[in-house]
Amino acid sequence: MVPTSILMDLPVAAAAVLGQTQPPTGPTSPTAGLEWHVRLAINFVVTFVVSLIVAGLVYGISPGFTEDGVRDVREDPVGTFLTGLLANVVIIVAMILLAITVIGLLLVIPGVFVLFFLGVAGNAVGVIALGAALTANGSGVGDVGKSILVGALTLAVIGAIPVLGGIFSFLVHTAGFGYVIDYLLERRRERKGGSSASSGPPSTGI
Protein backbone atom coordinates (compact mmCIF):
# COMPACT_ATOMS: atom_id res chain seq x y z
CA MET A 1 0.00 0.00 0.00
CA VAL A 2 1.00 3.61 -0.48
CA PRO A 3 1.51 4.66 3.17
CA THR A 4 -1.38 6.87 4.25
CA SER A 5 1.07 9.42 5.66
CA ILE A 6 2.58 9.85 2.20
CA LEU A 7 -0.84 10.13 0.59
CA MET A 8 -2.02 12.79 3.01
CA ASP A 9 1.23 14.77 2.63
CA LEU A 10 1.08 14.88 -1.17
CA PRO A 11 -1.21 17.96 -1.42
CA VAL A 12 1.07 19.89 0.96
CA ALA A 13 4.17 18.88 -0.98
CA ALA A 14 2.52 19.74 -4.27
CA ALA A 15 1.49 23.16 -3.01
CA ALA A 16 5.02 23.75 -1.79
CA VAL A 17 6.33 22.99 -5.29
CA LEU A 18 4.00 25.67 -6.65
CA GLY A 19 5.15 28.15 -4.01
CA GLN A 20 1.70 28.39 -2.42
CA THR A 21 2.75 27.22 1.03
CA GLN A 22 5.70 25.95 2.99
CA PRO A 23 5.95 22.48 4.53
CA PRO A 24 5.60 22.54 8.32
CA THR A 25 8.92 22.86 10.12
CA GLY A 26 7.82 21.98 13.66
CA PRO A 27 7.03 18.56 15.14
CA THR A 28 4.27 16.88 13.11
CA SER A 29 3.58 13.98 15.44
CA PRO A 30 1.20 14.57 18.37
CA THR A 31 3.29 12.14 20.44
CA ALA A 32 6.62 13.86 19.73
CA GLY A 33 6.91 15.39 23.22
CA LEU A 34 6.00 12.26 25.19
CA GLU A 35 8.27 9.71 26.85
CA TRP A 36 9.40 6.85 24.62
CA HIS A 37 7.45 4.18 26.51
CA VAL A 38 4.27 6.28 26.35
CA ARG A 39 4.74 6.74 22.60
CA LEU A 40 5.34 3.00 22.28
CA ALA A 41 2.11 2.20 24.11
CA ILE A 42 0.10 4.72 22.10
CA ASN A 43 1.49 3.40 18.80
CA PHE A 44 0.63 -0.15 19.83
CA VAL A 45 -2.94 0.66 20.83
CA VAL A 46 -3.62 2.84 17.78
CA THR A 47 -2.15 0.32 15.34
CA PHE A 48 -4.04 -2.58 16.91
CA VAL A 49 -7.41 -0.82 17.07
CA VAL A 50 -7.20 0.71 13.59
CA SER A 51 -6.02 -2.55 12.00
CA LEU A 52 -8.75 -4.51 13.77
CA ILE A 53 -11.52 -2.12 12.70
CA VAL A 54 -10.31 -1.67 9.12
CA ALA A 55 -9.81 -5.39 8.51
CA GLY A 56 -13.21 -6.19 10.00
CA LEU A 57 -15.00 -3.52 7.96
CA VAL A 58 -13.38 -4.45 4.65
CA TYR A 59 -14.09 -8.13 5.18
CA GLY A 60 -17.68 -7.38 6.19
CA ILE A 61 -18.23 -5.24 3.08
CA SER A 62 -16.57 -7.60 0.59
CA PRO A 63 -15.71 -11.04 1.99
CA GLY A 64 -15.09 -12.59 -1.43
CA PHE A 65 -12.64 -9.89 -2.47
CA THR A 66 -10.85 -10.13 0.87
CA GLU A 67 -10.60 -13.93 0.89
CA ASP A 68 -9.23 -13.97 -2.66
CA GLY A 69 -6.68 -11.36 -1.62
CA VAL A 70 -5.60 -13.33 1.44
CA ARG A 71 -5.20 -16.43 -0.70
CA ASP A 72 -3.12 -14.58 -3.31
CA VAL A 73 -0.87 -12.93 -0.73
CA ARG A 74 -0.26 -16.21 1.07
CA GLU A 75 0.43 -18.14 -2.13
CA ASP A 76 2.70 -15.50 -3.68
CA PRO A 77 3.82 -12.96 -1.06
CA VAL A 78 6.88 -11.91 -3.04
CA GLY A 79 4.90 -11.34 -6.24
CA THR A 80 2.18 -9.29 -4.55
CA PHE A 81 4.78 -7.28 -2.64
CA LEU A 82 6.72 -6.45 -5.82
CA THR A 83 3.50 -5.43 -7.56
CA GLY A 84 2.60 -3.16 -4.66
CA LEU A 85 6.11 -1.71 -4.50
CA LEU A 86 6.14 -0.93 -8.23
CA ALA A 87 2.67 0.60 -7.97
CA ASN A 88 3.82 2.80 -5.07
CA VAL A 89 6.76 4.12 -7.09
CA VAL A 90 4.66 4.77 -10.20
CA ILE A 91 1.90 6.50 -8.23
CA ILE A 92 4.26 8.77 -6.29
CA VAL A 93 6.22 9.77 -9.40
CA ALA A 94 3.02 10.38 -11.37
CA MET A 95 1.55 12.55 -8.63
CA ILE A 96 4.71 14.61 -8.30
CA LEU A 97 4.74 15.20 -12.06
CA LEU A 98 1.05 16.10 -12.06
CA ALA A 99 1.50 18.49 -9.15
CA ILE A 100 3.93 20.62 -11.16
CA THR A 101 0.97 22.20 -12.98
CA VAL A 102 -2.17 23.72 -11.51
CA ILE A 103 -4.43 21.48 -13.62
CA GLY A 104 -2.44 18.45 -12.53
CA LEU A 105 -2.76 19.48 -8.89
CA LEU A 106 -6.54 19.48 -9.27
CA LEU A 107 -6.29 15.85 -10.40
CA VAL A 108 -3.95 14.91 -7.56
CA ILE A 109 -6.34 15.95 -4.80
CA PRO A 110 -9.23 13.58 -5.74
CA GLY A 111 -6.65 10.96 -6.66
CA VAL A 112 -5.35 11.01 -3.09
CA PHE A 113 -8.79 10.10 -1.77
CA VAL A 114 -9.17 7.25 -4.26
CA LEU A 115 -5.75 5.90 -3.37
CA PHE A 116 -6.55 6.23 0.31
CA PHE A 117 -9.50 3.85 0.00
CA LEU A 118 -7.51 1.45 -2.17
CA GLY A 119 -4.79 1.55 0.45
CA VAL A 120 -7.29 0.82 3.21
CA ALA A 121 -8.44 -2.27 1.29
CA GLY A 122 -4.82 -3.33 0.82
CA ASN A 123 -4.09 -2.85 4.53
CA ALA A 124 -7.03 -5.07 5.45
CA VAL A 125 -5.92 -7.83 3.07
CA GLY A 126 -2.37 -7.65 4.42
CA VAL A 127 -3.47 -7.81 8.06
CA ILE A 128 -5.82 -10.75 7.52
CA ALA A 129 -3.22 -12.59 5.40
CA LEU A 130 -0.69 -12.12 8.20
CA GLY A 131 -3.10 -13.53 10.77
CA ALA A 132 -4.11 -16.40 8.51
CA ALA A 133 -0.47 -17.31 7.89
CA LEU A 134 -0.02 -17.68 11.66
CA THR A 135 -3.26 -19.50 12.44
CA ALA A 136 -4.78 -21.17 9.37
CA ASN A 137 -3.83 -24.33 7.50
CA GLY A 138 -3.42 -24.28 3.72
CA SER A 139 -3.66 -21.00 1.87
CA GLY A 140 -7.14 -19.89 2.93
CA VAL A 141 -8.39 -17.44 5.53
CA GLY A 142 -9.30 -20.03 8.14
CA ASP A 143 -11.23 -18.66 11.10
CA VAL A 144 -11.78 -15.08 9.92
CA GLY A 145 -12.20 -13.59 13.39
CA LYS A 146 -9.04 -15.26 14.64
CA SER A 147 -7.08 -14.23 11.54
CA ILE A 148 -8.14 -10.60 11.94
CA LEU A 149 -7.36 -10.56 15.66
CA VAL A 150 -3.97 -12.29 15.37
CA GLY A 151 -2.99 -10.24 12.33
CA ALA A 152 -3.84 -6.93 13.99
CA LEU A 153 -2.12 -7.94 17.24
CA THR A 154 1.04 -9.14 15.46
CA LEU A 155 1.24 -5.99 13.37
CA ALA A 156 0.79 -3.84 16.48
CA VAL A 157 3.44 -5.69 18.49
CA ILE A 158 6.10 -5.73 15.78
CA GLY A 159 5.03 -2.34 14.45
CA ALA A 160 5.79 -0.76 17.82
CA ILE A 161 9.49 -1.68 17.49
CA PRO A 162 11.48 1.27 16.12
CA VAL A 163 12.77 0.83 12.55
CA LEU A 164 11.95 -2.89 12.39
CA GLY A 165 8.28 -2.15 12.98
CA GLY A 166 8.14 0.35 10.15
CA ILE A 167 9.79 -2.08 7.74
CA PHE A 168 7.50 -4.93 8.77
CA SER A 169 4.36 -2.80 8.45
CA PHE A 170 5.49 -1.63 5.03
CA LEU A 171 5.98 -5.22 3.86
CA VAL A 172 2.53 -6.30 5.07
CA HIS A 173 0.68 -3.29 3.68
CA THR A 174 2.54 -3.29 0.37
CA ALA A 175 1.76 -6.96 -0.25
CA GLY A 176 -1.93 -6.28 0.39
CA PHE A 177 -1.85 -3.23 -1.87
CA GLY A 178 -0.22 -5.32 -4.57
CA TYR A 179 -3.23 -7.63 -4.58
CA VAL A 180 -5.56 -4.64 -4.95
CA ILE A 181 -3.59 -3.50 -8.01
CA ASP A 182 -3.64 -7.02 -9.48
CA TYR A 183 -7.38 -7.17 -8.89
CA LEU A 184 -8.01 -3.86 -10.67
CA LEU A 185 -5.80 -4.84 -13.61
CA GLU A 186 -7.56 -8.20 -13.90
CA ARG A 187 -10.97 -6.53 -13.90
CA ARG A 188 -9.76 -4.16 -16.60
CA ARG A 189 -8.53 -7.07 -18.74
CA GLU A 190 -11.86 -8.84 -18.28
CA ARG A 191 -13.79 -5.76 -19.39
CA LYS A 192 -11.58 -5.31 -22.43
CA GLY A 193 -11.89 -8.99 -23.28
CA GLY A 194 -15.67 -8.82 -22.98
CA SER A 195 -15.81 -5.72 -25.19
CA SER A 196 -13.64 -7.36 -27.84
CA ALA A 197 -15.76 -10.49 -27.85
CA SER A 198 -19.03 -8.55 -28.12
CA SER A 199 -17.71 -6.33 -30.93
CA GLY A 200 -16.43 -9.21 -33.07
CA PRO A 201 -18.26 -10.41 -36.21
CA PRO A 202 -21.16 -12.75 -35.50
CA SER A 203 -20.62 -16.40 -36.34
CA THR A 204 -22.73 -17.91 -39.06
CA GLY A 205 -24.04 -21.41 -39.02
CA ILE A 206 -24.52 -23.75 -41.95
Q: How far is CA 165 from the centre of its chain?
A: 16
Q: Residue 145: inside a domain, yes or no?
A: yes
**22 three-state secondary structure:** coil
Q: Residue 27: inside a domain, yes or no?
A: no
User: DSSP letter at 143?
Assistant: S
pLDDT in tens, 84-114: 999 999 999 988 888 888 777 788 888 889 9
Q: Residue 23: inside a domain, yes or no?
A: no
pLDDT in tens, 45-95: 999 999 999 999 999 999 999 999 999 999 999 999 999 999 999 999 988
pLDDT at 9: 46
- Tell me how many domains the chain contains: 1
Q: Residue 17: inside a domain, yes or no?
A: no
**99 three-state secondary structure:** coil
Q: Residue 194: inside a domain, yes or no?
A: no
More confident residue, 62 or 33: 62
pLDDT at 205: 43
User: DSSP letter at 137?
Assistant: S
pLDDT at 187: 85
Q: What are phi and psi of 3, to 5 degrees?
A: -55, 135
Q: Residue 16: inside a domain, yes or no?
A: no
Residue span of the structural domain in which 154 resides: 36-185
pLDDT at position 12 over 90: no
Q: Residue 14: inside a domain, yes or no?
A: no
pLDDT at position 143 over 60: yes
Q: Residue 96: inside a domain, yes or no?
A: yes
Residues 6 or more apart whose Cβ sits within 8 Å of residue 116: 4, 7, 8
Query: What is the enclosing helix (H) or strand (E) of 83?
Result: helix 77-98
